[in-house]
Amino acid sequence: MSSAVVISTPFHPVRRAYRRCRPGRRPRAPYPSPGGVVYSVHLPNRDEETTPVSRRNLLGIVAATIGLAGLVAVAFGGPGGDPDGLPTGDADRGRVLFEQRCAACHGAEGGGTAQGPPLVHPFYRPDHHADGAFLLAVRRGVTPHHWDFGPMPPIPNLSDQDVADVTRYVRDLQEAAGIR
């Protein structure tokens, strides 16, 4: 094993003196340094395996990415359970809410109008717009990205359960139209 001695003095901010020793021998003490601080660190021998700093950084980045992906999966729904974290919707209640709050723009049965796009369309299939996208649309509004309609404003006074009910109703309409 080798060791390195780093001597820092008031006269020289950092001066490094590396002393290599053969395995089994003790390193000589560093020369006295008035007011200096002495640090000793391990330096591996040439026959000891080392990990390059870039590989260490890469492993850290990979670990951080996996951790972040796990947090995102937990926050936005991951495998198992309801993937969007929404309550279970009731399609009958959702139909009533849809007719009251959504049909003016999206049509009586989700077929669209001159003011808003059809929700019974392959663009809104579950693998393209998950159920959570409906909740976000209601809470935040939507900037047009599939159609040439104006932006959808946020819809106030709908609970998560209300949105889940409307979403279940829309999904039932989609399934009846063969959109899965």
Q: Which fold has domain 91-176?
A: Cytochrome Bc1 Complex; Chain D, domain 2 (1.10.760)
- What's the pLDDT band for 61 if we cut at 50, 70, 90? confident
- What's the pLDDT band for 12 if we cut at 50, 70, 90? very low
* Mean pLDDT on 15-35: 51
> Where along the chain do its domains lie?
2-43, 51-80, 91-176
* Long-range Cβ contacts of 110-118 (<8 Å, 24+ apart): 110/170, 110/173, 110/174, 115/149, 116/149, 116/152, 117/146, 117/147, 117/149
